[in-house]
Structure 1
């Protein structure tokens, strides 16, 4: 006889949380239905006893009985006298589908391997990922995000992995609308890479990504240990809060090494702006540059070389992400490697856990990476 010891069906007190106006039995129904649809209970698997559900959900026995009757009427459960309650034989025939709501997919390199990590995860069996469809090749990211969201709501997917829109004038409004639509449809959400609110605010959704503060610290520390006297930080205006986290790490490393914390050393602007870079270098004596990401570093490198500066002899430059072309730049780029495959696997695990425990507090799951040393930082060759 198949059975599942699923002690994580719901966290006590599950029914005293976010949906106070909803009948308690319906909250139990939602939690168990989500677990069944996510494949946590396979065909014919025995569910926890009524007594166990009473304890986990902190409700009366009659409330649990009403919830089980509701699921039985929906054809999801089968009750066997003297034996217990089981998932219906056809309850697991349909694979749960998770939507990928990533407007930057195909444009930002980190998301493709993150999705690959989801698909290759040991937890991926019995689930499938939906890549969605763009409005049109020329659609902007804001419109694409809302269009994909509506698709997933119409398809009634089991969950959505959402990488919030980063740039654009309407990004904040669009991100809020997307999450509101998914919440109204009762679709679980796991955020990828970044939150939707600026620190110290925190959204009500799980977040899986890189430990950006640590990445900023380690890259700055690396530059200083290579002999950099004045490290600057370069970011494009309007970047997401992940960049702010990297700036925090950068400042902490400068402080740890006894360096002056000068606001003017944080440059926000176009990395292709020769006047911006040359002016900062001349005014503040910058001899090393930590860029918010590899894309910014690549553009800045082209600008610096165009100014006649030598890398790393005149100025050291490093990035964060370790994209595929980082080692192919005119001066191979030292960078911080994002463990994208592991991020994808952790995101899928977070989604399954969220489905089984819908009333858990929102969590931030931040993974560490590693420094990839190349010529641009001036470190001795291995």
Structure 2
């Protein structure tokens, strides 16, 4: 596994980044005297040499000035205006919801005075874990004002990597807003702000849609090692079946590669589903191709639905019924939460969960049901 992000970041750089953020956030205003180096040594738990170098870096950046016999003072006022925020989204371009979320951030009126930093990730051949750790180190070294983090998923060691990244950012005193997914599993409480959809409700709503169309042998399909959002959607699926008094067993909950035709054939032969709820549109699109390859028809034989409403959902061979994430609103709210977190760092962690819109297309067979 790649080395933790915090190990390769010099201690003076972490102290420098934390002090710079305090200045830029307005905590220390123009001509305010900084704590003495002795106090900073005690605050950060580092050596006097480390603190001295960090303060020298602040001076070189034009943020502070030393006055002989008096101490170190903020050279000019820095408010929350003109701050830079790092985007730590290792699967940007692979998970389709994140690009419109970022567009929502940039389109927000609050974004006019700020900059989003995309970073320079590791090589294209590197894993998502390696890219995430690389971006984390870069943002700490650059002293960004905050980081928007979409935790790594789909790897066996994702939890360890995500916790290491958050420890490094917390150690550098960089505020974090999580996008789409938490790091800790339910029912643990996150220690960081989070913006996303109500995944449990999404799983319930999309499953109930199939139930209302007459499906009774409904299977849930997700990828192995997926994010906690998939667990929440699965919970909503189970609740919908229970509420409608439809029985289900462990075999109804499938974690498989939707492009593995052998695994898909085994699922269809053993469960004989009349409906499939996919954890997301990406899974649904791939599963659709496997189902058609096995000579089953969607929706005539199997009704299929997803969650997200990514751009290509309506362009699939059978247009996909799904739930539309309010991605632009998620981006706007994420930026608002970040700015408030910087202005009021002692606020308790907050989770903002938005609802989704049901988008009915051909794959669920709603038109067939209406025609009966």
With structure 1 as the length reference, what TM-score do the two structures score? 0.76
- Quickly say closer, same or farther: Cα 1:154–1:34, change in 2 above 3 A: closer
- Quickly say closer, same or farther: Cα 1:119–1:310, change in 2 above 3 A: same
Query: Number of aligned pairs?
Result: 313
Pairing 1:255–2:242 present:
yes
- Is the contact between residue 41 and residue 92 of structure 1 (CA under 8 Å) also seen in structure 2? no
Q: 1:76-107: per-residue Cα shift (whole Å, max 9, x none)?
A: 9xxxxxxxxxx986434972101000001121
Which residue matches 2:214? 227
For 1:108-127, list aligned pairs within 5 A: 108-127=95-114
Please tell me the root mean square deviation across aligned C-alpha atoms, in Å.
2.5
Which residue matches 1:316? 303
- Quickly say closer, same or farther: Cα 1:42–1:347, change in 2 above 3 A: farther
How far apart in 2 are the matches of 1:273 and 1:284?
Answer: 17
How far apart in 2 are the matches of 1:262 and 1:43?
Answer: 64
Deviates more, 1:89-98 or 1:335-344: 89-98
Which residue matches 1:246? 233
- Is the contact between residue 25 and residue 80 of structure 2 (CA under 8 Å) also seen in structure 1? no
Q: 1:162-199: per-residue Cα shift (whole Å, max 9, x none)?
A: 11110223322221221111111110011111111222
Superposition deviation, residue 38 in structure 1 = 4.2
Which residue matches 2:258? 271
Superposition deviation, residue 155 in structure 1 = 0.7
Please, which runs of 5 or more residues in structure 1 have no aligned partner?
1-29, 45-73, 77-86
- Is the contact between residue 103 and residue 145 of structure 1 (CA under 8 Å) also seen in structure 2? yes
Which residue matches 2:86? 99
Superposition deviation, residue 278 in structure 1 = 3.0
For 1:167-206, list aligned pairs within 5 A: 167-206=154-193
- Quickly say closer, same or farther: Cα 1:227–1:163, change in 2 above 3 A: same
How far apart in 1 are the matches of 2:361 and 2:332?
Answer: 28
Superposition deviation, residue 274 in structure 1 = 2.8
Which residue matches 2:329? 342
- Is the contact between residue 38 and residue 352 of structure 1 (CA under 8 Å) also seen in structure 2? no
Pairing 1:380–2:355 present:
no
- Quickly say closer, same or farther: Cα 1:34–1:93, change in 2 above 3 A: closer
Superposition deviation, residue 108 in structure 1 = 1.2
How far apart in 2 are the matches of 1:129 and 1:39?
Answer: 20
What's the secondary structure of 1:160's corresponding residue?
strand
How far apart in 2 are the matches of 1:41 and 1:225?
Answer: 58
Which residue matches 2:280? 293
- Is the contact between residue 154 and residue 223 of structure 2 (CA under 8 Å) also seen in structure 1? no
Superposition deviation, residue 355 in structure 1 = 1.2
> Of residues 325, 340, 352 in structure 2, which corresponds to 1:353?
340
Superposition deviation, residue 292 in structure 1 = 0.7
Superposition deviation, residue 42 in structure 1 = 10
How far apart in 1 are the matches of 2:243 and 2:85?
Answer: 43
Superposition deviation, residue 124 in structure 1 = 1.3
Which residue matches 2:356? 369
How far apart in 2 are the matches of 1:39 and 1:331?
Answer: 54
Pairing 1:163–2:150 present:
yes
- Quickly say closer, same or farther: Cα 1:132–1:307, change in 2 above 3 A: same
How far apart in 1 are the matches of 2:274 and 2:232?
Answer: 22
Which residue matches 1:327? 314
